[in-house]
Amino acid sequence: MDYRKEFMVQPGSRIRLQHFDPGYKGKHLSHEKALPEMQQYLDQLCQLQHLLYAEKKHALLIVLQALDAAGKDGTVNHVMSALNPQGTRVTGFKQPTAEESEHDFLWRIHPHAPGKGAIAIFNRSHYEDVLVARVHKLVPKEVWSQRYELINDFETLLWRENHTHIVKLFLHLSREEQLERFKQRLDDPARNWKISTSDYKEREYWDAYTEAYEEVFARTSKEHAPWYIIPSDHKWFRNLAVSQIVAATLQDMGMQMPKPQVDLDEIRRQYHAASKERGRHQGKKR
């Protein structure tokens, strides 16, 4: 199963989230049955990141967006378990600071874009400025409605100037599952810290957020920066689908191990000479 084809929002299309089943889990009957395939993709991620870092011709940006409790943090933990932190950076975008609010909405985003050879993960992103800003009327419609094209231009810039491949993932959660996860936060002392005063309040805006996301998909899913709608009621399936999509994106970059920048024969001669010298010193010590 190619989850990129199954879950991608085709550029130029308009979708309705109600037509996507957040409880979908494909051919897999359980987490245990899916584990071998999941591990396969994690192994691929490890190998492909090494190649990305060595070649330094491309970059990868993973954008995570979702309503509360859909599992952005859990998805980050899953993907990061296969990656070398040296070549990966995770940035969480919360409410803009006073300084950030004094600049254009993309000012705080650009410094966190990945350099060549690196992977960046955005836990929330520049899309908050056409989601939260729209739903809660933080700025007038004539402001947020112009941001879609600015976002498209920004992502095109990353793609053309830095060969940054962009994968945008919407973790699709049902209202019923969200409520159950809120209950788990209340019942489990280890999860109490996740409770927010806005958790239940934001549920009142469910339909407004749904409409805002559907507009985002229609106006910003592009060939070089596609959106994927990931069924997320089952955490394990969410992780499986995300790891496959990210691994396939890296695979399609056609990366190759770079050729050495030094004369290997000369390095070998130096190595053999050093080895002989070490042998002579060891002989004298005896």
286 assigned to some structural domain = no
What pLDDT shows up at residue 286?
58
104 found inside a domain: yes
pLDDT band at 262 (very low <50, low <70, confident <90, very high): confident
Separation between Cα atoms, residue 231 and residue 171, nearest integer Å: 6
Judged by DSSP in three states, 82 sits in coil
User: How many domains are there within the chain?
Assistant: 1
**What's the domain range around 77?**
3-261
Tens of pLDDT, residues 48-98: 999 999 999 999 999 999 999 999 999 999 999 999 999 999 999 999 999
* Within-domain flag for 232: yes
Could you tell me if 49 and 204 are in contact, meaning their C-beta atoms sit under 8 angstroms apart? no
- Give the burial string for 80-109 (b: 16+ CB within 10 Å, else e): eebbeeebbebeebeebeeeeeeeebeebb
Q: Which residue has the higher pLDDT, 26 or 263?
A: 26
Span 214-228, pLDDT tens digits: 999 999 999 999 999
pLDDT on residue 32: 93
- For residue 115, tell me if it sits in a domain: yes
Closest among 114, 72, 108, 54 to 89, alpha carbons compared: 114
Residue 114 lies in a domain: yes
Report residue 279's pLDDT band, with 50, 70 and 90 as the boundaries.
low
Whether this prediction's pTM lies above 0.75 is answered by: yes
Whether 284 is covered by a domain: the verdict is no
Q: Do residues 56 and 116 touch, judged by C-beta distance below 8 A?
A: yes
**Which CATH number covers residue 232?**
3.40.50.300
Whole-number average pLDDT of the chain? 94
Position 275 scores a pLDDT of 80
pLDDT-derived band at 239 (thresholds 50, 70, 90) equals very high
The fraction of the chain above a pLDDT of 90, given in percent, is 83
Handedness of CA 183, 168, 9, 241 (dihedral sign): negative
pLDDT tens string 128-137: 999 999 999 9
Tell me if 281 is assigned to some domain.
no
The rounded distance, in Å, linking the Cα atoms of 58 and 255 is 9
Mean pLDDT of all residues in 100-114: 98
For position 195, what pLDDT does the model report? 86
122 in any annotated domain: yes
